[in-house]
Each structure stands twice: as C-alpha cells, then as structure tokens.
Amino acid sequence: MIRSLLDRFPVSWDTALPWVLFAYREVPVETLGCSPFELMFGCTVPGPLQLVKSASLQETDLSTAKQNVIEFILNTRERLRHTLDLASTHAAQQRSKAKAWYDRRARLRTFQPGDKVLVLLPMPGKPLHVK
C-alpha cells in the first residue's frame, strides 16, 4: 500500500499515510475474522461513507446519548473480551484449516538406527549475505 502511495504521490506521500493506515486497520484479517481496529477497541470503525450515511439518515440528539462512564467502560471491556474470544476461535479454525492443507502432501517418515539422513547444520554469521 505504501509503495503504491509513493508511486501516486511521490512528494506528499507522508500526508496521505494516515489514510493508508486507516484503510489497513479497518479491513478484517482473514485468519482472525475481524479487523485490527476491532481487536484494539472492541467495535467496528465507522468509515467515511458510513458516517455520511448515518448523518444523512438521522439526526442524533446528544443529550439523550450520554452514558455513565462506568457503564461505558464495562460495556467496552465486555465488547473487547467478546472480540478477543471470536478472534481466538477464528484463528484456531484457520490454523486447523492450514494444517489440513499442509498435511495433504505431508508424508510420515520413520527412521531406524543406522539409516542415512541429510542433516542441515546452522552456519555461523550471515550465510545468505552476498558480498
């Protein structure tokens, strides 16, 4: 996303960076089933179009929308706990799905004492460094 931002706005890419971060944080992650914003704050982020739509459809009276601070904190904590549980469940499902996909081609190998095997030993330093 940043690379395409650099291509489109080579001089002023840094001013558009908050919009890129917003877009990244509001999109649900496939393995978690929710967005980073939801995991952080416990609710979905209202995007610009959603804000315009809700503003045009209804007028809100802020005097009736006030909420007790303790009630707000407890509700937020409960939403976060619920979102975390959902994300954990979804991540576990995705891990099992990935394992099943990997196991399709995996083969069980058994070795007996005396069998010849190839052993990869770690190399000190930077083995992939090209001079």
pLDDT at 49: 61
Whether 114 shows a pLDDT value over 80: the answer reads yes
Distance, CA of 39 to CA of 109 (rounded, Å): 40
Return the domain boundaries, the chain.
2-58+66-103
pLDDT at 61: 56
Burial environment of residue 38 by CB neighbours within 10 A (0 to 12, 13 to 18, 19 or more): buried
Q: Which of 34-38, 88-92, 98-102 has the highest mean pLDDT?
A: 98-102
Mean pLDDT, residues 9-22:
78
Summarised one tens digit per residue, pLDDT across range 24-81 is 788 888 887 888 888 888 888 777 666 666 666 665 555 555 667 777 777 777 877 7
The answer to whether the predicted template modeling score (pTM) of the entire model surpasses 0.75 is: no
Average pLDDT, whole number, for the chain? 78
- CA within 13 Å, CB half, 83: 18
